[in-house]
């Protein structure tokens, strides 16, 4: 069992199973879209299994590539699996665009409020505090402070080095 999407061609468990299969074996999967959602990958995989003398049995869809009808059904359902993946991607992109049009912004909420960011910028610009001191003030890592400072004034402070005499 893989935890990765069927859209990925290389998955650790699938790669291992394909490596272990021998002539006369049959690879059994529940549904074709669990194996892959790319027509190219499915066709390539089907051809590779066929050349190696390994059968493919798709349980829920009743496909058995040992038969002529099974191979034909395998080809047709490969196309449908890729279509389903493309529809999911298109619907996701449409949903994100719609959310953006309504003013929604994705991603995490900023760690610092606008007031905290303004104060951090002021403390940094006036050189009253180091980035580490600003980070300690707000209880966040230095990288968070750097992420909130405006780019035109940010100069990463050099790391302290030990003088070796």
Same domain (yes/no): 49, 24? yes
Q: Is the pLDDT of residue 118 over 90?
A: yes
Same domain (yes/no): 16, 95? yes
Total Cβ atoms within 10 A of residue 75: 15
* Entry pTM: 0.46
Same domain (yes/no): 24, 86? yes
Domain end among 80, 101, 122 = 101
Residue 106 belongs to some domain of the structure: no
Q: Is the pLDDT of residue 127 over 70?
A: yes
* Structural contact between residues 95 and 89, judged by C-beta atoms closer than 8 angstroms: no
Same domain (yes/no): 119, 61? no
Domain end among 101, 125, 158 = 101
Residue 68 belongs to some domain of the structure: yes
Residue 66 belongs to some domain of the structure: yes
pLDDT score, position 109: 85
Residue 2 belongs to some domain of the structure: no
Question: Structural domain of residue 131, as residue ranges?
Answer: 114-148
pLDDT score, position 156: 54
Q: For 94-114, what is the mean pLDDT?
A: 88
DSSP assignment of 12-45, as one string?
HHHHHHHHH--TT-EEEES-HHHH-S-HHHHHHH
Q: Which residue has the higher pLDDT, 136 or 50?
A: 136
Give the integer Cα–Cα distance in Å for 34 and 5: 8
Q: Is the pLDDT of residue 57 over 80?
A: yes
Could you tell me the CA-to-CA distances from 91 to 96, 98, 140 in Å, in that order?
9, 10, 37
Nearest to 84 by CA among 2, 7, 29, 3: 7
Same domain (yes/no): 72, 141? no
- What's the mean pLDDT when you consider all of the chain? 82
Q: Is the pLDDT of residue 136 over 80?
A: yes
pLDDT score, position 82: 77
pLDDT score, position 124: 92
Residue 134 belongs to some domain of the structure: yes
Residue 135 belongs to some domain of the structure: yes
Give the integer Cα–Cα distance in Å for 80 and 12: 25
């Amino acid at each position: 069992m893989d935890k990765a999407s069927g859209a990925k061609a290389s998955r650790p468990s699938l790669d291992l199973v394909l490596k272990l299969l021998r002539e006369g074996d049959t690879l059994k999967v529940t549904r074709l879209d669990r194996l892959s959602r790319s027509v190219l990958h499915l066709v390539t995989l089907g051809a590779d299994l066929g050349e190696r003398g390994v059968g493919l049995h798709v349980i829920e869809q009743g496909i058995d590539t040992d038969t002529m009808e099974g191979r034909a059904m395998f080809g047709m359902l490969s196309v449908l699996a890729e279509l389903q993946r493309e529809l999911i991607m298109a619907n996701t992109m449409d949903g994100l665009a719609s959310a953006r049009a309504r003013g929604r912004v994705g991603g995490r909420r900023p760690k610092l409020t606008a007031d905290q960011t303004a104060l951090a910028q002021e403390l940094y610009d006036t050189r009253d505090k180091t980035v580490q001191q600003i980070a300690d003030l707000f209880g966040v890592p230095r990288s968070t402070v750097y992420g909130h400072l405006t780019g035109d004034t940010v100069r990463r402070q050099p790391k302290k080095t030990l003088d070796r005499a």
